[in-house]
Amino acid sequence: MPLVAHNDLPTFGKLRQDGLLVLEPGPAYQQDIRELHIGLLNMMPDAALAATERQFFRLIGESNPIAQFYVHPFTLDALSREQSARAHIEKYYDSFDQIKQQGLDALIITGANVIGADLSKEVFWDELNQVADWAHENVTSTLCSCLATHAVMDFRYGEKRIRQKSKKWGVYRHQVVDASHPLVDDINSEFDVPHSRWNDVHPEQFEARGLKILVTGDDGCVHLATSPDGFRTIFFQGHPEYDTISLLKEYKRDVSLFIDGKFDNYAPMPEHYFSEFNAAVCREYEGRVVQSLALGKEIPEFPEHLILGNLKNTWQDTASAVIGTWLGLVYQVTNVDRRKPFMEGVDADNPLGLE
């Protein structure tokens, strides 16, 4: 069943324009269908706040047709925001106190734009710990994306992320390495996932804490893993929620930062993302930018219009399948009263009955 537009969040209207079925509350209330209430802790910076909403709302709305999905976005007070983003949050987001009071069936914690390796020095560290600890005790399953994975691995398992020599940025091939888990039952054994990160938690760190690694990349990096019980916490290191144009927007942003003198070197292109044509367009533009800067001339406009029509999305179907399976599992093991995470007779230490 579809998402339910339980408030006036503009994301609902944009998803409708994209063809996603979104119900108004009136028709939703008339249907005798169970609800699932999903929290979205959105820690992304202002420029990506609304886009991140849409990405995760879309994955939820395209998932397993078993329930009506109420998604409750919220954020952390410690994160610095511009006035427009604060107004958006105040109008459309719940507070963490409201989230705790109403309860959730599941929680998604997004990444954040943080480069430094030591997350404990970030202003949001204590608040994020509070949310994750509350969810661990009160929510059936929490899905952590990228930085959220690094944070939980740090404060719950004592495994700190490691700064890499270069940014892992682009679209990469991955393989299922543990096909016994239901999360990967209905997906291809090989598929693509976008990544955009400077830091990594290595496979040995997951294994040392008894976590279950389900998907790794060609370079051995972990993309998908779970807590030892197989379900209470789900870890993504990549960004399967990304839109087709997300990496293009990041590349364009980094090029602008170089032009503004904030980067010493011109932005590298994301790997395995651009076609040969798009790469040629970007190389030509780089040459024009460097020449214009050297001569003090006006910077030419970024040729986005030449690139957009040649972008391909090779990851979204798999992402939707994994999210759909995850929500289906949440539905199976969550009590109808969402304040009680597990149904009577379900083993909280092994809710999926994994061997």
**Pair 189, 292 in one domain:** no
- Greatest alpha-carbon pair distance for the chain in Å reads 73
pTM, two decimals, is 0.89
Residue 84 lies in a domain: yes
Identify whether 348 is part of a domain: no
Please tell me the predicted confidence (pLDDT) of residue 24.
73
What is the pLDDT, as a whole number, of residue 114?
Answer: 84
Active-site hit among 146, 150, 159, 174? 146
Residue 350 is assigned to a structural domain of this protein:
no
Contacts 24+ apart (CB under 8 A), 79-88: 79/43, 79/112, 79/123, 79/124, 80/123, 81/46, 82/46, 84/46, 85/46, 85/49, 88/49, 88/50
pLDDT at residue number 31: 58
Residue 128, classed as helix, strand or coil, is helix
| Whether 137 and 255 share a structural domain | no
For residues 116 and 217, state if they share a domain. Answer: yes
Q: Is residue 216 in some structural domain?
A: yes
Q: Active site includes 239?
A: yes
**Do 198 and 236 contact (CB within 8 A), yes or no?**
no
Indicate if 328 and 293 belong to the same structural domain. Answer: no
pLDDT in tens, 149-192: 999 999 999 999 999 999 999 999 999 999 999 999 889 999 99
The C-alpha angle 30, 33, 39, rounded to 5 degrees, equals 105
Say if residue 89 is in the same domain as residue 9: yes
User: Are residues 18 and 131 both part of a single domain?
Assistant: yes
Q: Are residues 323 and 257 in the same domain?
A: no
Q: Are residues 96 and 217 in the same domain?
A: yes
Helical axes 46-61 vs 10-17, angle rounded to 10°: 60
Question: Would you give the DSSP letter of residue 271?
Answer: B
Mark whether 250 and 179 lie in a shared domain. Answer: no
Tell me what pLDDT residue 64 has.
63
Can you give the pLDDT at residue 340? 57
Which helix or strand (DSSP H or E) is residue 132 part of?
helix 125-138
Cα of first residue to Cα of last residue in the chain, in angstroms, is: 31
pLDDT for position 336: 63
pLDDT of residue 314: 96
Predicted pLDDT at 231: 93
| pLDDT (tens place) for every residue of the chain, 355 residues total | 566 777 788 887 887 887 776 767 665 455 556 788 999 999 999 999 999 999 999 999 887 667 788 999 999 999 999 999 999 999 999 999 999 999 999 999 999 988 778 999 999 999 999 999 999 999 999 999 999 999 999 999 999 999 999 999 999 999 999 999 999 988 999 999 999 999 999 999 999 999 999 999 999 999 999 999 999 999 999 999 999 999 999 999 999 999 999 999 999 999 999 999 999 999 999 999 999 999 999 999 999 999 999 999 999 999 999 999 999 889 888 866 655 555 556 677 777 777 6
CB 184 within 8 A of CB 147: no
Q: Which residue is catalytic, options 195, 241, 250, 282?
A: 241
| Res 342: pLDDT | 58
CA distance 107 to 75: 12
Domain assignment present for 338: no
Is 132 in the same domain as 181? Answer: yes
174 catalytically annotated: no
As a whole number of angstroms, the distance between CA 309 and CA 46 comes to: 27
Residue 9 included in any domain: yes
Instruction: Identify whether residues 303 and 223 lie together within a single domain.
Output: no
- The one catalytic residue among 221, 239, 250, 282: 239
- In sequence order, the β-bridge partners of residue 208 are none
CB 128 within 8 A of CB 216: no
* Residue 355 domain flag: no
Is residue 354 situated within a structural domain? no
Residue 148 exposure: Cα atoms within 13 Å on the Cβ side: 29
Phi, then psi, of 25 in degrees rounded to 5:
-60, -40
Count of residues for the chain? 355
pLDDT value for 288: 97
Same domain, 74 and 125: yes
- Residue 110, pLDDT score: 96
Q: Look at the chain and report how many structural domains it folds into.
A: 2
Write out the residue range of the structural domain in which residue 78 sits.
3-243+314-333
**CATH number of the domain to which 113 belongs:** 3.40.50.880
Radius of gyration of the chain (CA): 21
What integer pLDDT is reported at residue 275 of this predicted model?
Answer: 97
Helix 46-61 to helix 316-333 angle (10° resolution) is 70
